[in-house]
Amino acid sequence: MFLSSVPEMMEWGLRGASRSRRDALRWRLASLAVFLALWSVAGGLVELTKPFNPLFLPAPWVVIGALLDLARKGQLWVHVAATLERVAVGFSAGAVLALALGLLAGQVRAVRNVVEPVVELLRPIPPLAMLPLFIVWVGIGEGSKVGFITYATFFPMFVTTVHGVAQIDGRLLRAAQSLGARPRHLFFRVILPAALPDVLTGLRLGVALSFFVIVISEFVGAENGLGYLINDGRNFFLVPQMLGAALLLGLLGYAGNGLVRVLERRVLRWQHPR
């Protein structure tokens, strides 16, 4: 039986014995190698035996070839830059709005009572449903794409920020006050640092969501961007280009997540001191 045995469960629970770093890395590389190998074999077999049009399932090297091709023609960078710019601008605007309003609502009861129910009312509407409205309002240009990202990312970042402020232990504030902290001090030295873990979680959600929704707005109307590249690939049946662009999007999202992680590790060192 290859399920965890009872003695293993007794000693370590379901997680299994803790593994050394090198061992973990070895498993990781092996796993990815198997994945790529399976994909390659499948792609190669389809190429050889042609049970259906090989275009449907291109092998990894075909996908990478398509990306290199685009890069050689100098197009790839244009698309990547377009997507990145939209995400950067839209996300930043969303973050500024959400943090400002969230920190305010977290502290001022009156603001919270007004804003929070409204947010709770709008939040269940899947943001994608609002995309056509943005297009109708702002036109198909940059404005609607950026504005839509701002709209979509605002909600999770606002909610986590409010939560971050609301969960602060009141005793912490009282302790600071009894040490002579003024309201300004309270905000910068207690509230902000104490809310930061939640705020950063919100930022991470926001980054992921930005990449999530930019794709569809670039499907619906754009002349460039990775989403455009994917949809264009569909119109002309260029599956390698579609897969390549999707992989690139994943890479960008991964990098964005990594950036917030690095930020987290720097400003939240007190959570995991070494």
Give ∠ CA 135-136-139 in degrees, rounded to 5.
55
Q: How far apart are CA 142 and CA 85, in angstroms?
A: 10
In angstroms, what is the minimal distance from the CB of 61 to other proteins? 17
In angstroms, what is the minimal distance from the CB of 42 to other proteins? 13
DSSP 180-215: T--HHHIIIIIIHHHHHHHHHHHHHHHHHHHHHHHH
| Helices 192-220, 131-138: inter-axial angle, 10-degree rounding | 70
In angstroms, what is the minimal distance from the CB of 164 to other proteins? 21
The reply to whether 216 sits near other proteins by the rule CB under 8 A is yes
User: Can you list the alpha helix ranges (DSSP code H) found in the chain?
Assistant: 6-12, 21-49, 60-72, 76-107, 109-122, 131-138, 142-166, 170-178, 183-185, 192-220, 226-235, 239-267
The reply to whether 167 sits near other proteins by the rule CB under 8 A is no
The count of residues in the chain is 274
Site for other proteins in 133-152 (CB under 8 A): 133, 135-137
Give ∠ CA 202-190-150 in degrees, rounded to 5.
25
Among 37, 68, 108, 125, binds other proteins (CB under 8 A): 125
The reply to whether 223 sits near other proteins by the rule CB under 8 A is no
- Between 96 and 122, name the residue whose CB sits nearer to other proteins: 122
Site for other proteins in 22-41 (CB under 8 A): 27-28, 30-32, 34-35
In angstroms, what is the minimal distance from the CB of 145 to other proteins? 14
The reply to whether 188 sits near other proteins by the rule CB under 8 A is no
Site for other proteins in 69-98 (CB under 8 A): none
Among 43, 94, 102, 127, binds other proteins (CB under 8 A): 127
Among 96, 122, 259, 268, binds other proteins (CB under 8 A): 122
What's the half-sphere exposure (Cβ side, CA atoms, 13 Å) at 134?
22
Q: How far apart are CA 55 and CA 53, in angstroms?
A: 5
Site for other proteins in 234-263 (CB under 8 A): 234, 237, 239, 242-243, 245-247, 249-251, 253-254, 257
In angstroms, what is the minimal distance from the CB of 204 to other proteins? 12
Q: Please tell me what DSSP assigns to residue 238.
A: -
Among 213, 222, 240, 260, binds other proteins (CB under 8 A): 213
- Between 96 and 251, name the residue whose CB sits nearer to other proteins: 251
Q: Given the rule CB under 8 A, which of 63-71, 92-100, 170-178, 210-218 is the region that contacts other proteins?
A: 210-218
The reply to whether 154 sits near other proteins by the rule CB under 8 A is no
| CA dist 103 → 52, 74, 115, 195 (Å) | 56, 44, 12, 9
